[in-house]
Amino acid sequence: KYPMPSLSRLSTTLLNYCRFSRLPWQPTRLLCDQPAPRLPRVYEPEYLDYKPDYPAANQFNLSFTCHEYPVLERFVKYAHSLLRNQFKLGPDNCRQVPYPQRKTIVDLYQPESTKVRDTFQLITYRRVLIVDNLPAVEMSLLINLLAHNLPEGVNLKIEQPSEEDDEFRFVPDLEVQELKKQVELGRSGK
């Protein structure tokens, strides 16, 4: 009753379907391909699921310094994503802190004289990652990963947080200091 399509016509239709469809052609899934249902664990001891609690390291700073800003910023971004994604630290336990740049004037003298040949301004950029509650077992792994991937020119220093660093981080507001002086002079004048 119905004409049987030729094999070549059927194969070209199938090829056109595979070629122009968005998803690749996949065979239908057989019933035996599905995973077996999980049986209750009656005869397994309870200590197999035990995960020991490792002590967490105290809060520490990973201080990165470099003379090239793009290199430093890219590596700090890598280190921050490593801590957030691979070591599973949340935003409260790992945060990035920028510090103002430091400018150093470098003088090059002529050989065997006190006459200055060239003067350079060397800028040092610094970024700090403050890490808290990192398991002590993972700390050595983190340090090894950062040390092996450290780009040329970037220095890594691991240190305890200090109040001097926090004070240096904030840029002083000269207008606020002027107003405070005026208030003190006004109080002492009364």
pLDDT at residue number 36: 56
pLDDT at residue number 66: 96
The pLDDT confidence band at residue 164, using thresholds 50, 70 and 90, is: confident
Q: Is residue 119 part of a domain?
A: no
Rounded CA gap, 94 and 80, in Å?
Answer: 8
Q: Is residue 158 part of a domain?
A: yes
Q: Is residue 76 part of a domain?
A: yes
pLDDT at residue number 3: 52
Rounded CA gap, 141 and 146, in Å?
Answer: 9
pLDDT mean over 113-120: 92
pLDDT mean over 143-161: 94
pLDDT > 90: percent of the chain: 41
Q: Is residue 188 part of a domain?
A: no
95: Cβ contacts below 8 Å, ≥ 6 apart: 129, 130
138: Cβ contacts below 8 Å, ≥ 6 apart: 87
Which of the two residues, 41 and 156, has the higher pLDDT score? 156
Query: Using an 8 Å Cβ cutoff, are 131 and 94 in contact?
Result: yes
- Burial of residue 134 (CB within 10 Å: 0-12, 13-18, 19+) is buried
Rounded CA gap, 78 and 59, in Å?
Answer: 20
pLDDT at residue number 176: 83
Whether the pLDDT of residue 84 is over 70: the answer is yes
Q: Is residue 56 part of a domain?
A: no
C-alpha distance across the termini of the chain, in Å = 115
pLDDT mean over 63-72: 95
pLDDT mean over 150-176: 86
Provide the domain limits for residue 158.
61-99+126-170
Angle at alpha carbon of residue 93, lines to 90 and 98, rounded to 5°? 105
pLDDT mean over 157-184: 84
Q: Report the mean per-residue pLDDT for the chain.
A: 80
Rounded CA gap, 190 and 185, in Å?
Answer: 9
Report the number of distinct structural domains present in the chain.
Answer: 1
Q: Is residue 68 part of a domain?
A: yes
Which of 32-36, 115-119, 170-174, 186-190 bottoms out in mean pLDDT, i.e. has the lowest? 32-36
Query: Using an 8 Å Cβ cutoff, are 15 and 25 in contact?
Result: no
Q: Is residue 145 part of a domain?
A: yes
64's tokens:
């990165």
pLDDT mean over 17-31: 48
pLDDT at residue number 187: 85
Whether the pLDDT of residue 56 is over 60: the answer is yes
**What stretches of 135-187 adopt beta strand conformation (E)?**
155-159
Q: Is residue 118 part of a domain?
A: no
- Burial of residue 17 (CB within 10 Å: 0-12, 13-18, 19+) is exposed
